Amino acid sequence: MDLKAICNEVESISKEVGAFLLHERKHFDQNLVEEKSFNNLVSYVDKSAEQKFMTKLGSLLPNAGFIAEESEELKPDDTLNWVIDPLDGTTNFIFNLPFYCTSVALIKNDEILIGVIYDPTHDELFSSYKGGGAFLNGKQIKVSSKNALIDSLIATGFPYDDFQFEAEYMLLLSSLMKKSKGIRRLGSAALDLAYVACGRFDVFYEYGLNSYDVAAGALIVKEAGGSVSDFKGGSDFIFGEEILSSNKRVHSETLKEIRKFF
């Protein structure tokens, strides 16, 4: 496969879907919002955006399967799959907070080949393909150069429907508050990862995530020179429902803190 050419196509498709999100946001009706489970919201916008992705990406690589947030009944391919979050940050979108994005990855088995994240409200396109570096609007990006956790800005996500580790999470949050320059919770894991990749954040961690939340961003962080792992320091972050990403320099120090509580 020509990963660079495919990545360019995914960038164009992502911009098309992003334009659709902006258009729908202008006259969005909150009465049409559904609750899939407690605090897990979805609207016709998510579903329509996902269908647009699946139609276009299906034509681009007819042999690839799909792992998509709003289409759980889909059967993924044995090896090659598109991993799609058509609207990461749905709650932000519903409440008109301008921090949401599309996220698309192509994975072969557990190897991420392509990652594209598009933030339509700020017109920021983050993209990468394996071995090709990471880019923001066509310009190469790198992770930050912070060498210590105490100098780092951290991003995380608060539990909203999975509270089984609530106590551990709050203890970790309290610890990291005192050992960093601060913690932010913006509401889109995909954009948090993209922000690590371009050096706006030095660390991002969260549990309770799905593959479509993290796959694209994980590759972008890696291609920007950062590190990505699960909470044990291993590689089960795509399907393992937990992720730590960093600028690499502070990864071990942050992981040590996480391991105290998880």
Mind listing the pLDDT tens digit for each residue in 3-29? 999 999 999 999 999 999 999 899 887
Report the number of secondary-structure helices (H) and strands (E) in the chain.
Answer: 7, 14
Percent of the chain with pLDDT over 70: 94
Q: What is the mean pLDDT of the chain?
A: 92
- Name the more confident of 80 and 159: 80
pLDDT at 161: 72
Question: pTM for the full model?
Answer: 0.94
Cα torsion 44, 50, 52, 55 to 10°: value is -140
- Percent helix, strand, coil in the chain, to 5, is 35, 25, 40
Let me know how long the chain is.
262
Exposed (0-12), middle (13-18) or buried (19+): which is 25, by Cβ within 10 Å? middle
Q: What is the mean pLDDT of residues 222-243?
A: 97
pLDDT at 75: 58
Q: What is the mean pLDDT of residues 62-72?
A: 84
Distances (CA, A) of 48 to 20, 51, 210, 222: 9, 5, 20, 30
The per-residue b/e assignment along 191-214, b for 16 or more CB within 10 angstroms, e otherwise, is bbbbbbbbbbbbbbbbbbbebbbb
Give domain 149-259's CATH architecture: 3-Layer(aba) Sandwich (3.40)
Cβ–Cβ under 8 Å, residues 116 and 94: no
pLDDT at 76: 66
Closest CA to 121 of 44, 217, 21, 225: 21
pLDDT at 45: 86
What is the CATH code for 3-140? 3.30.540.10
Q: What is the mean pLDDT of residues 192-215?
A: 97
pLDDT at 54 over 50: yes
| Farthest-apart Cα atoms in the chain, separation | 50
Q: What is the mean pLDDT of residues 138-143?
A: 98
| Residue 254 token pair | 């942050």
pLDDT at 110: 87
- Name the more confident of 133 and 70: 133
Domain ranges of the chain: 3-140, 149-259
**Continuous segment of H or E residues that includes residue 220:** helix 211-223
User: 91-105: per-residue pLDDT in tens?
Assistant: 899 899 999 999 999
Task: Kindly indicate the confidence band of residue 34, based on its pLDDT and cuts at 50, 70 and 90.
Answer: low
Task: Kindly indicate the confidence band of residue 41, based on its pLDDT and cuts at 50, 70 and 90.
Answer: low
